[in-house]
Chains A and B, each alone.
Chain A
Amino acid sequence: MAEILTKSRARNIFYGGSIFFVLVFAGMTVQSHRYVVQTSTAGMPLSEEVVRGKHVWERNSCINCHSLHGEGAYFAPELGNVTTRWGVQDSPEDAFFMLKGWIESQPSGIEGRRQMPRYEMSDEDIRALSEFLRWADQTDTQGWPPNDAG
């Protein structure tokens, strides 16, 4: 590379090429943003409850034990498809009662089993959370996860 590729040429390729890739990436981001809003998450309205549920999810840092659509920690089960696993994806009422039952029975206290902390949550928060999880579950994730085990 000695003669053909001088230092200043290498530098110009670096700057020019980077700008090119940033522009391509920006364009694809805009398109992807639209696709998310109009197609992949359009199956269920992004209601106030869902938004509140997302805040509850964040406030309690659930992501640092669980994964959601495969991202997060690996200490506890995947929750992006939990309403499918529980068979409550189509029923807000069932989803709420299942989740309330679950949260209020923690921690299990079983010796040698990973523990989920006890969260003191109002019914409104639990309902918001179950709606958020139902909402996440209806996302078109290109067929992931491979099965209901998550």
Chain B
Amino acid sequence: MKYESQKVAYWYILAALALFGIQVLGGLLAGWIYVSPNFLSELLPFNVIRMIHTNALIVWLLLGFFGAAYFLVPEESEREIWSPKLAYIQLVILLVGTLGAVGSYLVGIHGGREFLEQPLWVKFGILVAAVIFLVNISMTVLSGKRTAITNVLLMGLWLLSLLWIFAFINPENLSLDKMYWWFVVHLWVEATWELVMAAILAFLLLKLTGVDREVVEKWLYVIVATALFSGILGTGHHFYWIGLPGYWQWVGSIFSTFEVIPFFLMMSFAFVMVWKGRKNHPNKAALLWSLGSSTVAFFGAGVWGFLHTLHGVNFYSHGTQITAAHGHLAFYGAYVALNLAVFTYAMPMLRERAPYNQVLNMASFWLMTGGMAFMTFVLTFAGTIQTHMQRVVGEYYMDVQESLSVFYLMRFGAGAAVVIGALLFIYSTLVARRSEIIAPGSANPVPGE
């Protein structure tokens, strides 16, 4: 830790990890209800659990992004954060809002647009927190050194906050409601968050591999250019069947196919940097998460996204378990794993200790990644059968679901592995130990030298 105020990130990461735990436990509970449907049905219905699961996900990922920004911006700008106090106020607002939202879901007070169910006061809280954050981080950057990484990071964060305004716009016309809803949902994960992801990934690779900054930054601009050029019009892949004009079938199919490119570039970028890099950074676990994130993001967002993005396919697969399979692997690879990479990199510095417990941390990577991959496979099988029986043959939804129960049982098993992995991650990051349980392997030999 070079700058005192980077410490702010520590508290953001703690809060994020706590919510991460809640998120996966909520997911496991929802997965159990698929297996045993009468469980809790009178006390805590599925829809409430699902809201907690998805909302906790989004909030902890945002907390992680904020924390990452507070950690890396001082290093990039070479100065302290403009106002650490504002950063703490922002965190308190977000935590009060989160607890308020969970509490009000439990007593049945919520909105009814998927992912945006937060009561109005919480939405305003998020807006205020975002404004505080933007002011604070922009002041820091403007009065310090500007780099491509902070440029792109800031642009991503400004744009995603601006898009939050659409969370307040809920037209009475259902089709319009849906169209503007995607301005938040799609333009977050497939445009603005990609900017944040690319910037953070570039920062991590710069630190971990020691590659020339000039090279990293050029890649960065190329990646984010392909992200926005494809992702903006790619929104059309959600406009096929909700009452919008038919031309979106072509625009959406073509541009969302190009959305694979930035994910492919991010994966290639990560590997090329590691091969080119000469530095042998001691934090191997952070490198594993960085490479893992970009790779799984390519499969989850790129491959599984392309799988159902052409309108001829989507006509049949729309709104089936295929969508759930893709949603899980994409979120996990691109944003969960990336956040865990930052946490793995930053936490040892924030706690001022050597990066120990790497072996446990890496074990949690394989457990979580294996679990999410298996979950994606079984949901894809379930979704394929569902698509055929329901959309092609025309059998009734509830009857089809009954024949899928074996997949839901396997999904629960996969979920249990993910939960154990998540707890292991939290344990290895927070509970200090003196030494490795198992000594890590020797440092990578530098090829050809």
| Residues of chain A having any CB pair with chain B under 8 Å | 1, 5-7, 10-11, 13-14, 17-18, 21-22, 24-25, 28-29, 31-33, 35-37, 40-41, 46, 50-51, 54, 57-65, 67-78, 107, 111-115, 117, 132, 135-136, 139-150
Contact = CB atoms under 8 A, between A and B. Distances in A.
A77 to B, nearest CB: 4
A107 B243 contact: no
Given A69-B241, A114-B398, A149-B397, 8 more contacts: A25-B235, A28-B251, A61-B117, A67-B319, A69-B178, A115-B45, A139-B243, A149-B390
Contact of A32 (B179, B218, B323): B179
Nearest to B400: A149
Contacts of B394: 146-149
A14 B323 contact: no
Contacts of B217: 7
26 contacts: A5-B218, A11-B151, A17-B225, A17-B229, A21-B228, A25-B232, A25-B233, A36-B175, A37-B176, A46-B172, A54-B177, A61-B51, A63-B113, A69-B243, A70-B242, A71-B319, A73-B46, A74-B320, A75-B46, A115-B37, A115-B38, A115-B42, A115-B45, A141-B243, A143-B315, A149-B396
Nearest to B383: A74
Contact of B47 (A1, A37, A62): A62
A76 B206 CA distance: 47
B397 A141 contact: no
B220 to A, nearest CB: 8
B110 interface: yes
Interface residues of B, number: 70
Contacts of B390: 149-150
A35 B245 contact: yes
B178, B217, B244 — most chain A CB neighbours (10 Å) = B244
Q: Please name the 6 residue pairs, one residue from A and one from B, whose CB atoms are nearest each other, closest first.
A: A58-B112, A70-B319, A64-B47, A144-B241, A10-B221, A115-B41
B114 A146 contact: no
Nearest to B219: A10
Given A64-B46, A64-B114, A71-B319, A135 B174 contact: yes
